[in-house]
Amino acid sequence: MENLDETLEANKENLLVTAFTSGAITNGAIKKGAILLEKTENSRTKFYTSSQLTPDQKRELLFNVNQPFEVPMCEFDEEWWPLVSNIWTRYNYKNHTNGNSWKTFACHFTKHNPSSMRKEGIPDEKRRKTKIRSANLCFIKIKVSRFITEKKVYIERYQDKTRLFFVINPFKIMENLDETLEANKENLLVTAFTSGAITNGAIKKGAILLEKTENSRTKFYTSSQLTPDQKRELLFNVNQPFEVPMCEFDEEWWPLVSNIWTRYNYKNHTNGNSWKTFACHFTKHNPSSMRKEGIPDEKRRKTKIRSANLCFIKIKVSRFITEKKVYIERYQDSPDHTHTIEESEKLKRSQFVRNLVEQEAIKNYPPPAIVNAIKEYAIEKLDLSSSVKELRRKEVTNIKSKVYKPQNTYLTGNINLELDIEESVVFFKNQEYQHNPSSMRKEGIPDEKRRKTKIRSANLCFIKIKVSRFITEKKVYIERYQDSPDHTHTIEESEKLKRSQFVRNLVEQEAIKNYPPPAIVNAIKEYAIEKLDLSSSVKELRRKEVTNIKSKVYKPQNTYLTGNINLELDIEESVVFFKNQEYQVERFQILHRSSHGFVFAHPNQLEKLQHFGWLTLIDSTHKMNKYDWRLFTLYIRDNHGCWDVGVHFFISKEDSDTVAEALKIIRRFVCSWKPRYFLSDQSNVEANGIAIAFPGLSKGEQNCEVIFCTVHVMRTWMTKIYETKVRRKMIHALHKITKISCDELIQQAIDECQAPTVKQYILRNYIKNTNQWALWARQHSPLLLQITSTNAIESYHSELKRITVSHHGLIDAEYIAFEFRTKQISVVGIDFEIIDQIHKFPFPIQQKIVSEVHAVEERIEKGKDVPVLTSLNCYCLFFCQYLLPCQHILHNHLYGEKKLLTTNAWEQFQQMFMESGFEVYISHELVEIELPKKTEAEKAMENRRSTINELIERTRNAYWRVEEKGNAVQKSIFIETLKASLGSILNAEEQ
């Protein structure tokens, strides 16, 4: 290319990468910062801009990051990284104070994070079928740096600082090693382990042959890539000699196999070098110690003599002081192990495992907790499942006692009490102690009320610091106090012992918002790790601690809720409090019942009760105050499907007259409230009170019926109707949609019942009032089919007991109302035209229709046929409840011949919610209309018409059965027979 510098200068603003392959063009000078991305067939240099690169080219560049390059930040986030987010997973990161940051990413095949463990206690039929992926299949990493000021992203290959693990064969020195490896480079088992070990197919000098597999492929290792389990395997089966740095061998290698090998022989040279031979523990070359005499049998330890000469393998470990390396080899061609490595683990614990136990035992955790912690850590972090598989609690207990024994020898003390106290005082003064001892347990507190506490061990760390404050300079000076020693523990162990004030402040800031403790724990951990880089400070934060801090925060806020000791003054103060909060409050008293109470409600709640109280849930709860007054709640569902309180009232005695008086006061509060149904939990007190407060047609009012919670009814049957077969019949009767079939099943249950008491219970309580508890009586109203239990109000009462709130609603109704019309559901796997129609419904309705669409897929998986429907009517429970397209209609629409859900049909369903919400179901119900009596001639004509319709329908059904199951001959025979049968009738009519 001529004038290359000018060409590049003219195009520098459009260059995609600022630094690519230097020297890519040899016949011309490339200006620093230019890019050569591709050389075409005619050897012309071709430059790209981001708009010219295809997505596949971008993926290829980010898959093989051979040279560094940079991309504009917004373009990288939107167009580049989403293409390879499945290839790379975050490995490490750092955020700088100036806003810049970098992240390293490893290939997903690296799998540097351990697989999550399976949860216990889940039945096999409910357990998801999962598979653990293999790890360490790929070791490539990239580094992505972000520069905020320049608004660019810089991508480069990440260089791992990996140490080579050298292998030496002293018996046969390989000649021309580089040439040999170069000749076998195509058969290499691993293409690249260390950075630069294999570059463009050439093997770097220093990569040594460790093992030849059966297919003669060459295998390479580095010490940083070997897992502890692989190191154990190499030291268990020493097939080829190899060497390891001395410090690494003593700290990381030998503790893993100290339970496998026992010293057999050794020699120390004058130059400092030495060698030792080790035999397998199953060799047992040393004889067993004899039992001591004169020890009583009850005090004698139960021991067992192991068999000897079960394995004869030996290894030789040579130490070279000058080179600081250890050389490991098989000793004099000894035979292989006669057992597995797992059997060695059963025989004795390795020093590595013992060290882990000692590190945890010093913290004074109980042995079962230590066992679980070590097993989890060794399996997930170190891949040493076989080493800790056989770890037992008894072994941990023994190791713990040995750890604590030397620490506690000074605690034996003097026999004389006075001398013991003086020696203790002198000891603490020598240690410069002025700290207070643990507080003693208070006397006279019953055991059931005594807090469970634990005294921490003392003298585990002796470091001290000195903090000096200078008021004039307004500074603080921190220093180590009198050369005190270093910490004997890590900073993480201090975090386990006590939370810092910083973390407590974070908890208090969130606790004041009344979030539940689990949510606070998650929020603080996320904020501290991502924003403050304080992962170690919040790693051990527990829900119990957050609960305790939250209670301390709320305690001073809720002191006004304690109430007055005097009942009358307490009621008056409560009434004043509610009135100050703009509540409507009225006290009442029933003289002949010696009961009294008061009703309170906010105007906003009364307005909701007026609009949505057609169906009202009523329930009471106890233990809400120290006087054992019952709290009654009227609960309603608003137009957005959100449950809210209508009214509360307290009563001193739970009887029908008192409840009726409270309901009458509520009617005075809301004159236009006209409930049609009350849903209760089979309480006669509530039912009688409602009957008194709402007399119905006898007083010229609308009838108000009491219906029972189906869940409560079935719970009652669980205890009262103990014959399983009879109880199932009754539950079946409860769900019948017609009165006749319901009565038949009840009669069958009575006939089959063997216990006279159960039979009498059914006859007395359920035979005459099926309209209160059976669902056949609710088929006329979708709302009654949607709400069949009082679970909503019971959940509210349980939440009310758990927390103290200043308002009665538990759901943010304003937020729900905003989402009701604006939010759209996000779902995959549904036809675009259908999801577009679903988005035109309110959000809660969208969720219900989407669940029915997913139910269609379940029907297909079960092998169910496409339902034959001729209209948009179905008798399934969902359609009766919500009057919306159900799974049967959707199944017919998606896979049937006739498409029922046309655009007009969707619009009819959507118009239901055009100007209203869930209150639309209040006005949707079947109404019985009395028609004038028909004459005998009209009745006969109607019967004839019904008979004709029945015959036509039966004929049509017979044809469809033949069409679905029969062959062509059967179909032709059926049609000819039908023509012959109807021919005479049709011909006579034409004549």
Cα–Cα nearest to 767, from 754, 751, 755: 751
Check whether 277 has a pLDDT greater than 90: yes
**Residue 666's pLDDT is what?**
93
Check whether 13 has a pLDDT greater than 70: no
The Cα–Cα gap between 154 and 167 comes to 38
Lowest mean pLDDT among 510-519, 586-595, 688-697, 723-732: 510-519
Instruction: Classify residue 510 as exposed, middle or buried by CB count within 10 Å of its CB (0-12, 13-18, 19+).
Output: buried
**Residue 713's pLDDT is what?**
92
The Cα–Cα gap between 546 and 555 comes to 14
**Residue 170's pLDDT is what?**
28
Strands 615-621 and 630-637, by their bridges, are antiparallel
Give residue 296's pLDDT band: very low, low, confident or very high (50, 70, 90): confident
Other Cβ atoms within 10 Å of 914 Cβ, number: 9
Instruction: Classify residue 144 as exposed, middle or buried by CB count within 10 Å of its CB (0-12, 13-18, 19+).
Output: buried
Average pLDDT of the residues in 297-302? 75
3-class SS at 860?
A: helix
Give residue 710's pLDDT band: very low, low, confident or very high (50, 70, 90): very high
Give residue 45's pLDDT band: very low, low, confident or very high (50, 70, 90): very low
Which of 75 and 221 is assigned the larger pLDDT?
A: 75
The Cα–Cα gap between 845 and 911 comes to 13
Residues of the chain above pLDDT 90, percent: 13
The Cα–Cα gap between 902 and 910 comes to 12
The Cα–Cα gap between 350 and 216 comes to 34
Written as six digits, the tokens of 451 are: 């807090």
Average pLDDT of the residues in 82-89? 88
Check whether 294 has a pLDDT greater than 90: no
Lowest mean pLDDT among 195-204, 376-385, 872-881, 981-990: 195-204
Cα–Cα nearest to 737, from 781, 773, 784, 777: 777
Average pLDDT of the residues in 731-738? 91
CB 650 within 8 A of CB 630: yes
Check whether 774 has a pLDDT greater than 60: yes
31 CB-near residues (< 8 Å, 6+ apart): 4, 5, 8, 9
Average pLDDT of the residues in 2-16? 54
The Cα–Cα gap between 280 and 341 comes to 11
**Residue 447's pLDDT is what?**
74
- 510-513-516 Cα angle (round to 5): 75
- 191-194-198 Cα angle (round to 5): 45
**Residue 214's pLDDT is what?**
40
**8-state DSSP, 222:** B
Cα–Cα nearest to 353, from 228, 230, 494: 228
The Cα–Cα gap between 617 and 675 comes to 10
Check whether 210 has a pLDDT greater than 50: no
Q: Where are the domains of the chain?
A: 42-111+138-160+462-488, 219-285+308-347, 492-553, 825-916, 936-987
Average pLDDT of the residues in 626-650? 86
Give residue 160's pLDDT band: very low, low, confident or very high (50, 70, 90): very low
Check whether 616 has a pLDDT greater than 90: yes
**Residue 515's pLDDT is what?**
73
**Residue 441's pLDDT is what?**
65
Other Cβ atoms within 10 Å of 963 Cβ, number: 11
The Cα–Cα gap between 492 and 534 comes to 11
Instruction: Classify residue 842 as exposed, middle or buried by CB count within 10 Å of its CB (0-12, 13-18, 19+).
Output: buried
Instruction: Classify residue 724 as exposed, middle or buried by CB count within 10 Å of its CB (0-12, 13-18, 19+).
Output: exposed
Other Cβ atoms within 10 Å of 740 Cβ, number: 9
Q: Helix %, strand %, coil % for the chain, to 5?
A: 45, 15, 40
Give residue 617's pLDDT band: very low, low, confident or very high (50, 70, 90): very high
Average pLDDT of the residues in 732-743? 91
Lowest mean pLDDT among 193-207, 272-286, 338-352: 193-207
Q: Distance between the two ends of the chain, CA-based, in angstroms?
A: 100
pLDDT tens readout for residues 922-935: 765 555 555 566 67
CB 609 within 8 A of CB 626: no
**Residue 175's pLDDT is what?**
42
Mean pLDDT, the chain, integer: 77
Which of 216 and 524 is assigned the larger pLDDT?
A: 524
Long-range contacts at 491-496 (CB < 8 A, ≥ 24 apart): 491/536, 492/536, 492/539, 492/540, 493/363, 495/536, 495/537, 495/539, 495/540, 496/363, 496/540
How many residues in the chain? 991
CB 709 within 8 A of CB 788: yes
Long-range contacts at 871-876 (CB < 8 A, ≥ 24 apart): 871/900, 872/900, 872/901, 872/905, 875/737
Average pLDDT of the residues in 206-227? 44
DSSP symbols for 442-495: PTT--GGGS----PPPP-S----EEEEEETTTTEEEEEESTTPPPPSS-HHHHH
Check whether 564 has a pLDDT greater than 70: no
3-class SS at 669?
A: helix
Which of 959 and 434 is assigned the larger pLDDT?
A: 959
Check whether 205 has a pLDDT greater than 50: no
CB 328 within 8 A of CB 242: yes
Matching residue, tokens 């419904």? 841
Average pLDDT of the residues in 23-44? 40
Long-range contacts at 489-495 (CB < 8 A, ≥ 24 apart): 489/460, 489/461, 491/536, 492/536, 492/539, 492/540, 493/363, 495/536, 495/537, 495/539, 495/540
Give the DSSP H or E segment for 157: strand 152-157
Average pLDDT of the residues in 301-322? 86
Give the dihedral sign, CA 488/491/496/498: positive
CB 646 within 8 A of CB 657: no
The Cα–Cα gap between 715 and 727 comes to 11
pLDDT tens readout for residues 420-475: 888 888 877 777 665 555 666 667 777 776 777 777 888 888 899 999 999 988 89
CA-CA distances (angstroms) from residue 106 to 66, 222, 299?
15, 18, 59
Check whether 708 has a pLDDT greater than 90: yes
CB 517 within 8 A of CB 553: no
Give residue 18's pLDDT band: very low, low, confident or very high (50, 70, 90): very low
Check whether 408 has a pLDDT greater than 80: no
pLDDT tens readout for residues 741-763: 999 999 999 999 988 888 888 99
Check whether 988 has a pLDDT greater than 80: no
Strands 218-219 and 202-203, by their bridges, are unpaired
Written as six digits, the tokens of 148 are: 């905020």
3-class SS at 948?
A: helix
The Cα–Cα gap between 239 and 262 comes to 19
Residues of the chain above pLDDT 70, percent: 80
Give residue 3's pLDDT band: very low, low, confident or very high (50, 70, 90): low
Q: Which amino acid is at 807?
A: H
Average pLDDT of the residues in 391-400? 81
Which ranges in 184-245 belong to alpha helices (H)?
A: 228-236
Average pLDDT of the residues in 360-375? 78
Written as six digits, the tokens of 655 are: 């009887």
Cα–Cα nearest to 646, from 685, 675, 687: 675
